[in-house]
Structure 1
């Protein structure tokens, strides 16, 4: 036991004190914004991403994509957007601008978080930190749930929208969208259960079960069915949103869990673009706890395999792949305040199911502080070998050695401070034909919150990527930020600002400076009128070509409750977005959307809504994209 404690102390000193390390993801996100913010449930929000290739390899056309994961206010995963595939090659130190649209489910209400990721050659190379946006609920009359004898309650929304789109050049077109949303919570046999389901029906997709999740929380067993995100060994299955079934059972200190899911939807290819096979994931984990040191050991196994018969047109070079990963996890608490976790995994990867596999391994050691109020510390070391592949753990980037430290401290109702340090490098076998990429990321934040003064938040980060040799890669991004929020009576005002400056010392890519800001205000006029408004402004300066790209978005929402007491309510909201660069080169467009709705409370638990939306998109660079869209919708909302 004494030797174990001494070894753990050595690991702690090693993780925290090491200073000269190497780092290198091959991609980074310079700017990430959601607009409009606040957005309205049932409407569309647009995620704007400026991504930078920080590695030495080219991102090939159609071989990389972006997507955004959506989380609730407690940072529980809910859903993710469609993948947006890159349409052009991105060389080292070059940036690309991506817009990802997302249709907000009609049940959304309040604060949400999101993360954006970059995936290159089926490997997730970057995942952003959490950012937040706000959703204003759809207008509806006050609904009072009636007491029920069964331990089940919730709400359901059924909606239909008919639209006509008129292009400036082409003929007009008609479309329709139906949606069904249900949210249930309750108990069965004294066990909590929940169900969330959102389905769409339209011309293009017919029926699309966009998102659903059923949870059963028994005393010894838990069941999750639908859009799940199981968490096992972080090198084997972690952070992958999949659709399927996860069953876990616990008996005293022994636990077992199995999972079977679809991890990738099929996409038909073309003669020039690869499609995507339907991919399935199977496996499980067995865990045994010990009576000493709050310790446990676990063994995990996951297989991912493509269904090569799932699509008719594969594309020019698509091959079905297979991936087996087995791993082990050990955890113990050195003292009441220090926990240590070790993870190891070995993978078999078939680039083509009919060919041979390559084997490799990865490991990760994590030290954390536990049971200390208002304080957190996590330090980790990981080394993922070049041929290691784990499709169930997209954040376990292969050919990478990394040290990471994250810590925070807070004094309740006064101040909070946090810091993050990440340094890593690739090319672990020191291949002279490759450029070794070293990356160093340091970030910190300070938050001041007192009941009598505005809440202030300050942030600062430095992200550098240096190649070996540095003539091929040498850039740095510096990003300071600040925000202030204050509530006075029924009015809340928040303002945030971020500046990001990218400098490429090799001059391969042009230097950029990005300014972005956000203003939000919400208030009430009397008991029955609530107003919220926001603006998101961003400006990207190309310091070499002197080109400036602006993207500005404004939104407003006004709700009128109790026009007729407990019967009639109404809402009006709209947004305006303008994007352009000057001297005029490639971008000049604007989007205007306005909606008005009236809701009538038929019964205490049933309301009906009718509405009209006008959208106008103007592209002065390409008139073929210019259109007007007018739509009418009807919606039934019921609680029970």
Structure 2
């Protein structure tokens, strides 16, 4: 008991230190363009192949408004060694998010069936095709798993037998769109999805493939082959390697990754494509084919202490395009780095990263060099208390194409801490501050931005789960006449589960005030409600979201969205299932002079099991988009699909 009390005293002291540190910094510095504020998942633990529900709160702490359906989150899954395994689809936000505002994205994912025990996931926030933030590693317990077939007890295995288990889906989709102006378009898509786990000899392997045939074009959208040897592992396909946060992190690649590991040494080699070519035109630039080569050697000096050296080179292929465009030049980027990691105890982790870059904006021109540094200190799970702090600095000429989150010309401080009481709740505090223009160029405005946010969650068994949050985002320029604004955002999330029914509510208000240009002031109010239940043979989900944006200089804008789904997974036990879902979105302003449109879509599917391992799925989707301001955008769309799914 005395040890527990001492642990709580230490946790309380460190939490107090972090809060004092947050509020004692006076200078306002700038934050990244986006941040993941809160991730809540249920249930815990989860059974393999069942749904894990996510509630993700994301924050826009940049200077650019996020448009609806252009910002997204996706989930990356890792095994117990934190080795990348697969990635989810993208889940897009349905409401615009102004600078300083946050948004809630809710979705559910089926847990991978080939991971057992404790696995890890990370949530990625992105806008358009750019990654803005990646969450910390988060564990989840998986209670069941489908294991690949192996030799029976006493069976003799000779040679190199291959055993596999998995599933495959072959699909065909036809889509026809008819516009109000009288013309129409259609498309025919075929796809193949294969997911397998198995063994080559006694070595585990896995393979995932998703391919498309669209208008006579064959596209391998995603594939990954994994070979897990005792000392050697091989990943071929769409990979997500991570060497160093300043060198290679958060970049999806297509290529080959080899890892060799012994007791005191690990070595990694990488050859990949990081960008696919896109032809330019006389008025727009294209994209060169870009290749990325890299390697890392890590030496384990003693237990929980290691040093790593890595090198990455990114090069454009100037011969990959026939028409590069009016101003596109091939670039080359070389990055060398070192990393020191030390975990002296069960609760303490430290990391120091350094990188030096060499960048040519044109391979025929001279290069510029820059340096980057990042230091991290973490206290992990001291009686349910976690604390993390980091400092990073990148020079104005620092360019690392393999680490898009390590942007140039920034000095950043970041602190986060959380404390949880089992069966009661948790509290978390986050602080981020940065400034740019490190060379103090008098002709450039220095941006100083600071963000502080906190969340308090109450979570008692058999009681509603309630999370209350508040964020403050301030931005001040030098000179101040160029930049001076503040955003305040309180929010409340709540959910309650009784037997098979879950009711969820969310509310958020955001107030943006620009001291330089008051006509840009904006107040946003977002409310949401959701209901999930199951009874008899049916499962039902209904959701609604209501957003109001009030610009001082213009009219109010409204976005209301509704969705519903109903399914009958056992209409005919182990033979027939039905599902139906629909969504309706309405956008308009209070005068209906600039914005007035609505979108309605409805989908129905039937699943019939021809055999225990063979299913036929047929579906139909009808959509209607109506634009009352510009009728040329109005259309109706009909789509039918057939899928054949087989497990083996």
Superposition pairs of residues 586-601 of structure 1, within 5 angstroms: 586-601=594-609
1:584 corresponding residue in structure 2: 592
1:183 corresponding residue in structure 2: 195
1:286 corresponding residue in structure 2: 297
Task: State which drifts further: 424-433 or 333-342.
Answer: 333-342
SS of the counterpart of 1:309? helix
1:419–1:444 contact (8 Å) kept in structure 2: yes
1:25–1:126 contact (8 Å) kept in structure 2: no
Distance 1:525 1:487, change over 3 A: same
Q: How far off its partner does 1:354 sit? A: 0.6
- 2:511 matches 1:507: no
Distance 1:95 1:31, change over 3 A: farther
1:532 corresponding residue in structure 2: 541
2:8 corresponding residue in structure 1: none
2:31–2:450 contact (8 Å) kept in structure 1: no
1:22–1:402 contact (8 Å) kept in structure 2: no
- 2:182 matches 1:170: yes
Task: State which drifts further: 219-228 or 457-466.
Answer: 219-228
Residue deviations 1:224-256, cap 9 Å, x none? Answer: 222211111111111112222211111102111
Superposition pairs of residues 233-312 of structure 1, within 5 angstroms: 233-291=244-302, 294-312=304-322
Q: Which has the higher contact order (CA 8 A, sep 6+)?
A: 1
Give the Cα–Cα distance (whole angstroms) in 1 for the partners of residues 281 and 466 of structure 2. 52
1:492–1:521 contact (8 Å) kept in structure 2: yes
Give the Cα–Cα distance (whole angstroms) in 2 for the partners of residues 16 and 199 of structure 1. 53
2:617–2:643 contact (8 Å) kept in structure 1: yes
Q: How far off its partner does 1:570 sit? A: 1.4
Distance 1:126 1:611, change over 3 A: closer
Distance 1:434 1:125, change over 3 A: farther
Distance 1:118 1:474, change over 3 A: farther
1:227–1:242 contact (8 Å) kept in structure 2: yes
Give the Cα–Cα distance (whole angstroms) in 1 for the partners of residues 462 and 579 of structure 2. 33
Distance 1:188 1:409, change over 3 A: farther
Superposition pairs of residues 424-573 of structure 1, within 5 angstroms: 424-507=434-517, 510-526=520-536, 528-542=537-551, 544-573=552-581
- 2:615 matches 1:611: no
- 2:417 matches 1:407: yes
Give the Cα–Cα distance (whole angstroms) in 1 for the partners of residues 313 and 210 of structure 2. 29
Give the Cα–Cα distance (whole angstroms) in 2 for the partners of residues 627 and 166 of structure 1. 5
Give the Cα–Cα distance (whole angstroms) in 1 for the partners of residues 351 and 224 of structure 2. 30
Unaligned residue ranges in structure 2 (runs of 5+): 1-16, 39-49, 51-55, 102-107, 114-119, 139-145, 152-161
Q: TM-score, normalised by structure 2?
A: 0.81
2:475–2:486 contact (8 Å) kept in structure 1: yes
Q: How far off its partner does 1:24 sit? A: 2.1
2:459–2:465 contact (8 Å) kept in structure 1: yes
1:164–1:173 contact (8 Å) kept in structure 2: yes
Task: State which drifts further: 495-504 or 423-432.
Answer: 495-504
Residue deviations 1:317-370, cap 9 Å, x none? Answer: 111111000010112235543222111100000011110000110111111114
2:408 corresponding residue in structure 1: 398
Give the Cα–Cα distance (whole angstroms) in 2 for the partners of residues 479 and 370 of structure 1. 29
- 2:212 matches 1:206: no
Residue deviations 1:438-495, cap 9 Å, x none? Answer: 0101111111111120111111111111100111101111111111111111111211
2:620–2:639 contact (8 Å) kept in structure 1: yes
2:30 corresponding residue in structure 1: 24
Q: How far off its partner does 1:507 sit? A: 0.5
Distance 1:28 1:336, change over 3 A: closer
Distance 1:536 1:199, change over 3 A: farther
Distance 1:506 1:475, change over 3 A: same
Number of residue pairs aligned between Structure 1 and Structure 2: 578
Q: How far off its partner does 1:16 sit? A: 8.7
Give the Cα–Cα distance (whole angstroms) in 1 for the partners of residues 545 and 122 of structure 2. 17
Superposition pairs of residues 59-138 of structure 1, within 5 angstroms: 68=72, 70-72=74-76, 78=87, 115-117=124-126, 126-127=132-133
1:566–1:601 contact (8 Å) kept in structure 2: yes
1:214–1:226 contact (8 Å) kept in structure 2: yes
Distance 1:29 1:335, change over 3 A: closer
Distance 1:352 1:494, change over 3 A: same
Residue deviations 1:572-599, cap 9 Å, x none? Answer: 1111111112223432111111112222
2:73–2:91 contact (8 Å) kept in structure 1: no
Give the Cα–Cα distance (whole angstroms) in 2 for the partners of residues 220 and 16 of structure 1. 47
Unaligned residue ranges in structure 1 (runs of 5+): 1-12, 33-40, 42-46, 60-64, 84-92, 98-103, 133-143
1:107–1:181 contact (8 Å) kept in structure 2: no
Distance 1:319 1:508, change over 3 A: farther
Distance 1:25 1:153, change over 3 A: same
Q: How far off its partner does 1:219 sit? A: 2.3
1:137 corresponding residue in structure 2: none
Q: How far off its partner does 1:195 sit? A: 2.3
Give the Cα–Cα distance (whole angstroms) in 2 for the partners of residues 49 and 481 of structure 1. 12
Give the Cα–Cα distance (whole angstroms) in 2 for the partners of residues 276 and 511 of structure 1. 38
2:77–2:87 contact (8 Å) kept in structure 1: no
Distance 1:186 1:532, change over 3 A: farther
2:157 corresponding residue in structure 1: none
Distance 1:349 1:214, change over 3 A: same
